[in-house]
Chain A
Amino acid sequence: MEKIDVEEMLACDAPNDMKQEEGFVGNLKYGVVGILFGIVFVKAEIVSWFRIQEMFRLQSFHMYGVIGSAIVVGMLSIWLIKRFKIKTIAGDEVVFHPKKFNSGQIYGGLLFGLGWAITGACPGPLFAQIGSGFVVVLVTLLSAIAGTWVYGYFRPRLP
């Protein structure tokens, strides 16, 4: 198995920059954050197909408020981390990754947008929808995995 090059790894939107190995118990804390996150997703109805339709029909402020205030809080937190050089709990410097522009962000972004309005879900809510009892969304998730795989397969021939 060949090692992935640096460029490819940066294409991953959620890299692990922790130097130490974390092990099973160490990884559980991300599960806890995920659980809290999943609860917010369902309770704020972000997983709802209806809410996504409202958003794309400009008939409610709800989703814009959620995404907008999440960005404001995220921005402020990152600014604070950079400004005061806040370290991780393991004492490391926090690593940020600049996003390099490529045309895939346009074409892929448009394709994802089309799918978002059909499924009423981005990848996060897919998992929360399944958990909250819409078992049939498992098929959507499998299809999303297939879509990711097909992209990986044709990647050398795509923009």
Chain B
Amino acid sequence: MELLEFVRQPWPWYVAGPLIGLTVPALLLIGNKSFGISSSLRHICAACIPANIPFFSYDWKHEIWNLVFVAGILIGGFLAGHFLANPEAIQISPQTVADLKALGIRDFSGLMPGDIFNVANLFTLKGLVFFVLGGFLVGFGTRMAGGCTSGHSIMGISNLQWPSLVATCCFMAGGFAMTHLILPHLMKLF
């Protein structure tokens, strides 16, 4: 079972990045689909709660491939998390560990900090910030920007679309601002 052990290790960027890049031609060639994931959130709105809003009044069934695609991502996450999981704790930069410890994070054993991403936090202020507010910003922001890391940063930039480059720079700017300017204050609340 050497192969399985090999696969279970964390994959380096030069393996993962090109595989993600190959999703672009794969989707284009198997069915003329432009790579993008945040649209799935819009299709879910269109399918479940269109409420006569013009932005959600379209034939979502024509775009159902996108929902099948994200369902696949969920299943892939399950398979990797249960059968191919790395038995070791995640190796992140010691500086990041030090910085996050200073912010009050204690659990560095899994892919996500267990002291934030657990069900017990659901109805606390921490849960409100990390799940509800964070998720809302992701959904609102990606739709307003017309795409996310996949639709803009990978598909858009690969297709040499400068608005996608602008959007990507803004994604990064927002992330830097949250990490360095806002998160330190947010973490003091808990």
Q: Chain A residues in contact with chain B, CB under 8 A?
A: 1-4, 8-9, 11-18, 22, 26-57, 59-78, 80-81, 86, 88-90, 92, 94-102, 104-124, 126-137, 139-153, 155, 158
Tell me the chain B residues, 112-151 only, with Cβ under 8 Å from chain A: 112-113, 116-119, 121-122, 127, 129-151
Q: Which residues of B contact A136 (CB under 8 A)?
A: 117-119, 121-122, 127, 131
Given A14-B35, A43-B7, A116-B174, verify A31-B69 contact (CB < 8 Å). Answer: yes
Q: Is the interface of A mostly helix, strand, loop or mixed?
A: helix
Interface residues of B toward A: which range?
Answer: 35 or more
- A residues less than 8 Å from B142 (CB atoms): 108, 112, 122-123, 144, 148
Q: Which residues of A contact B190 (CB under 8 A)?
A: none
Majority-rule SS of B interface residues: helix
User: What are the interface flags for B66-98 relative to A under an 8 Å C-beta threshold, 1 for contact and 0 otherwise?
Assistant: 101111111111111110101000101101100
B1 in contact (CB, < 8 A) = no
Contacts A65-B14, A136-B121 supplied; 16 other A-B pairs, CB < 8 Å: A11-B146, A30-B68, A36-B72, A38-B76, A39-B80, A44-B11, A44-B12, A89-B30, A90-B31, A111-B174, A114-B177, A119-B134, A123-B40, A147-B137, A147-B141, A158-B144
List A contacts of B162 (CB < 8 A).
Answer: 101
Could you jot down 18 A-B contacts, CB within 8 Å? A12-B42, A16-B33, A18-B33, A30-B27, A33-B30, A37-B72, A54-B92, A62-B13, A81-B29, A88-B30, A90-B32, A108-B140, A113-B174, A117-B178, A118-B186, A123-B150, A140-B134, A146-B136
